[in-house]
């Protein structure tokens, strides 16, 4: 059973590799890969490892204060800070976001609240910062 789960992708599978329970409060930055489920509190940045297929789920009672940079983010709780999702963001009915949301694809349920701007990014940030395909002519 463990061997089968190891080969499956965490993106979209709902797999939870790390749980931050309701009695846990973290002060500092969190870097992860796989699935991270937050029922507690994080005061610091939450980032996925470079190139990782990562999913962050913030439960109804979860709270994050800090910048979030994760490919897939599912928010049902409270987030204060800018949010960057290179793949998609799901805002549940109990989501409360104070900050700008940079997204490629967004799903927002009735009742979700955003105090900030929704900024559509056509491509993930890594692709935007790459070299251009056409060389520049110098005169």
pLDDT in tens, 88-128: 999 999 999 999 999 999 999 999 999 999 999 876 455 44
Kindly state the average pLDDT of the residues 47-75: 95
pLDDT score of 7: 34
Closest CA to 34 of 7, 60, 51, 11: 11
State the Cα–Cα distance between residues 96 and 75, nearest whole angstrom.
Answer: 8
Strands (E), 25-139: 25-27, 30-32, 35-38, 41-43, 46-48, 55-58, 63-65, 68-69, 72-75, 78-80, 83-84, 88-91, 96-98, 101-103, 106-108, 113-115, 118-120
pLDDT in tens, 66-94: 999 999 999 999 999 999 999 999 999 99
Secondary structure letter of residue 27 according to DSSP: E
How is the chain split into domains, by residue range? 15-123
């Amino acid at each position: 059973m463990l061997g089968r789960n190891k080969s499956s992708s965490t993106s979209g599978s709902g797999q939870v590799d790390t749980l931050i329970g309701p009695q846990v409060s973290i002060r500092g930055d969190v870097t992860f890969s796989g699935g991270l489920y937050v029922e507690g509190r994080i005061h610091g940045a939450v980032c996925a490892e470079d190139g990782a297929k990562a999913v962050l789920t913030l439960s109804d009672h979860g709270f994050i204060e800090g910048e979030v940079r994760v490919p897939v983010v599912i928010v049902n709780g409270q987030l204060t800070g800018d949010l960057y999702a290179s793949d998609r963001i799901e805002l549940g009915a109990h989501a409360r976001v104070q900050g700008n949301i940079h997204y490629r694809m967004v799903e927002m349920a009735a009742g979700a609240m955003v105090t900030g701007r929704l900024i559509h990014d056509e491509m993930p940030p890594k692709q935007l910062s790459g070299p251009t395909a056409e060389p520049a002519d110098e005169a």
